[in-house]
Amino acid sequence: MAPDYERAAEMLEGARKVVVFTGAGMSKDSGIDTFRGPGGIWERFSAQDLATYEGFIRDPAKVWMWNEARRQQVAGLTPHAGYVSLAEMEGLFPQVVTVTQNIDGLHARSGASQVVELHGNIWKVRCDAEDNEPWLDERTELPEYPMHCDNCGGLLRPHIVWFGEPLDRKDILDANLAVEDCDVILVIGTSAIVYPAAGFPLLAKQRGAKVIEINIEPTPVTEYADLSLFGTAEEVLPALVVELKRRKGDGD
């Protein structure tokens, strides 16, 4: 069935606060593989080795090399048209907050102004020994594997939430604040099975928000979504913004 853009635009009409909740499928059309499904990252690489603290301690050099390769990939790509459309939506509603599970930083790079990165950011590092605030390190050629702290000599780690690790408390708070009184939540490109992040769309629904899902296939969100638009983020989001602008009378 073709995506019902008119119905989606109707649901969004008059919304004061919109939450954009994204997962790996949002970046698929820019060339970054998703984690699950055919050809997914966790089919080809070991999550145990590369995305757990135990794996990091076992072989920190391996984890840094893998993350360096991912940094190089992200640095070399361009956010697709769907990202640009999301940034444009900020001009159509009083408040748009992006809550993402992605670590690639593409939302901010394409102009999103308020972004909560629930699973961290591949461009940030922190000292594992000192447990201090993360800082930005945008190098794509790392000086050593593994990286060490200039201050204490301890291991530096990517500022990424690995399996079994808690989310940052401030991020949880910010995501809750965004979700609890939003009018509409757009749930884009996530399998919605990794908790606690996957709980935010349902929380929004329980608080009275309309849930619009954008995905290439059904997910657990589909069961309670008010509307599912099946298609890729790259095709669905620009078409949705065209419809929103048309209704506002400033379509191009």
CB 26 within 8 A of CB 237: no
- Give the nearest distance from C-beta 202 to ligand APR in angstroms: 14
Catalytic-residue membership of 119: yes
Q: Is 119 in contact with 99 (CB distance < 8 Å)?
A: no
For 81-144, the three-class secondary structure string (H helix, E strand, C coil) is: HHHHHHHHHCCCCCEEEEEECCCCCHHHHCCCCCEEECCEEEEEEEECCCCCCCEECCCCCCCC
Q: Assess 216 for contact with ligand APR (CB under 6 A).
A: yes
Answer yes or no whether residue 55 interacts with ligand APR by CB under 6 A.
Answer: no
By the 10 Å C-beta count (0-12 exposed, 13-18 middle, 19+ buried), 19 is classed as: buried
* Residue 24 contacts ligand APR per CB under 6 A: yes
Backbone angles phi, psi at 98, to 5 degrees: -100, 125
Q: Does 185 bind ligand APR (CB under 6 A)?
A: no
- List the one residue from 107, 119, 157, 210 that touches ligand APR (CB under 6 A): 119
In 3D, which of 66, 44, 63 has the Cα closest to residue 53? 63
Question: Which residues does residue 91 pair with via DSSP β-bridges, in sequence order?
Answer: none
Considering only 155, 167, 194, 203, the residue that binds ligand APR (CB under 6 A) is 194
In the list 5, 21, 35, 123, the residue contacting ligand APR (rule: CB under 6 A) is 35
Both tokens of 204, joined, read 């929004």
State which residue, 40 or 199, has the beta carbon closest to ligand APR.
40
Based on the shown chain and the rule CB under 6 A, indicate whether residue 40 belongs to the binding site for ligand APR. Answer: yes
Contact present, 23 and 188 (Cβ < 8 Å):
yes
Binding mask 136-175 for ligand APR (x = CB under 6 A): ----------------------------------------
228 touches ligand APR by CB under 6 A:
no
Among residues 219, 225, 227, 229, which is the contact residue for ligand APR, using CB under 6 A? Answer: 219
Is the distance from CB of 185 to CB of 152 less than 8 angstroms? no
Instruction: Choose, from 80, 107, 119, 159, the residue flagged as catalytic.
Output: 119
Binding site for ligand APR (CB under 6 A): 23-25, 28-29, 34-37, 40, 101, 119, 189-191, 194, 215-217, 219, 232-233
**Which residue numbers are catalytic?**
119
